[in-house]
Structures are given as structure tokens and as C-alpha cells.
Amino acid sequence: MRVCSLFSGGKDSTYALHWAVLKGFSVTCLLTLRPRRADSWMFHYPNIEWTSYQAKALGVFQVIYETSGVKDLELEDLRKAFNEVKKKFGISGIVTGALLSDYQRMMINIIAHELGLRVYSPLWRKNQVNYLRDLYRHGFKFVLTSISTMGINPKLLGKVLTPSDIEELISAALKFGFNPALEGGEGETFVVDAPLFRERIVIDDGEVNRLDQYSWVYIIKSIHLEPKVLVE
């Protein structure tokens, strides 16, 4: 099964990609949609330009497709992108990291169905707390790159989350009622290491910007790749 992974560089799309590889799928490309505006309904915005480093670390070809970021118009962009990767790579399926967003999942499914592509969303409705803990246990390292809800500590921005940070996030989610895996757009992440990364990403420089009372973004300014070390 040749598939393309819809890839934002965040934890969910990176984990879904690993699922596909371990399912015996041949992941022939990463498809990254780059919205021109920050409030895209469909796609991840912060730091999307740095995903090329992740693609390099994964050793998978990346297709970056510009999208308007305007609701409805970006769906047309997605259709064009799916069509292009289908023709170019001969894929029969798309893998997504959708967790709970019906809008995102259904739009992707409808468009893919029209083009004769199957959609695999391995994280769909999985237990969010277990998933978050599993990510760390399985070797996925990621930084928080945006916050748009009350209750998440801004000190976590730009930081590679540790198990205690993850527990703090889970506690805050329970207290303030947001999704612990941040599926509702409460936050975004950027993966710096994962089991299939041949090299790990090191963020050299970045800055935290406050957008409003509960809205923050961490802008990566410089990163590089480093060799990985096995942990016995």
C-alpha cells in the first residue's frame, strides 16, 4: 500500500506516519499544506517552514503546497494537492493525524473519496491521555509552539516536553476542560525527535510572542540536525 502522509510537523501527523510505516505501508511522500494566514481552519500554521528539516530527518520526500488558509478555498487547495500527489507518487491512500476534529477528518475523507483515495486516521478517538503519555514513552520528543486557551503554562513554549510537563498538561486539561492532546487547536507542537528520525532536531533560537491574554506563539528562528545516540 503506497500512501502519502499529511504532515504538519506536529506530534499527531508524525505519530500517524509512524503508525503507517509500522503497518507495512510504503510512505512515499509527506504532504505539507502551508497556509498563507495564521487562522487556517484546516492546517497547522506555526513554524511550518521548518518541516523540511523533519522530512530530511525522516528521509521521506516532502511536497509543500501553498494554501490560502481561507475556509472552503483551502479545501479546493487540498483537492488539488491530493490529486497532484496521487498522480506523482501513485498512492492509494492518505494518512492523517486527526484525533477528534470532525471538520478536519470529514473534509479530508470527502475530498479523498472523490479522488479514489482511502484515508487512514489511526489516532481517531483514541484515549487522549494515554496517547500523550505513549508519545513520550515511544521516543517522540516535541516542543509546544502555540497556546490558544486558558490553563496552559506559557513556560512550556519552546521547551521539549518532559514526562512531568506532560502530566502538567494533562492536569491542566482536566481542570480547564480542554483537550489534553490539544486537538481542538488549544496548542500546536513541533516534533524534534522520533523513532524514525535518522537525526534529531536541535532548536538553536526561537522567541515567544504573546498575541492576547491566552494566546501565545513560539517562533522558531534557527534549527539544525544532529546525529542520534542509541540509549541502552
Chain residues in the site for other proteins (CB under 8 A): 1, 21-26, 118, 134, 137-139, 195-196, 228, 230-232
CB of 21 to other proteins, least distance (A): 5
Instruction: Pick the closer one to other proteins by CB: 1 or 129.
Output: 1
Of the candidates 91, 93, 86, 80, the residue with the CA atom closest to the CA atom of residue 119: 93
Rounded to the nearest whole angstrom, what is the least distance from the CB of residue 195 to other proteins in the complex?
4
- Which residue, 196 or 223, has its beta carbon nearer to other proteins? 196
Q: Quick count: other Cβ atoms within 10 Å of Cβ 207?
A: 11
Residue placing its CB nearer to other proteins in the complex, 41 or 131 = 131
> For the CA atoms of 205, 146, 72, 68, what is the dihedral angle to 10 degrees?
-20
Query: Which CB atom, from 22 or from 110, has the smaller least distance to other proteins?
Result: 22
CB of 1 to other proteins, least distance (A): 7
Sheet of 62-67, strands arranged across:
62-67, 26-35, 2-6, 93-95, 118-120
Min separation Cβ 27 and other proteins, Å = 8
CA distance 78 to 33: 8
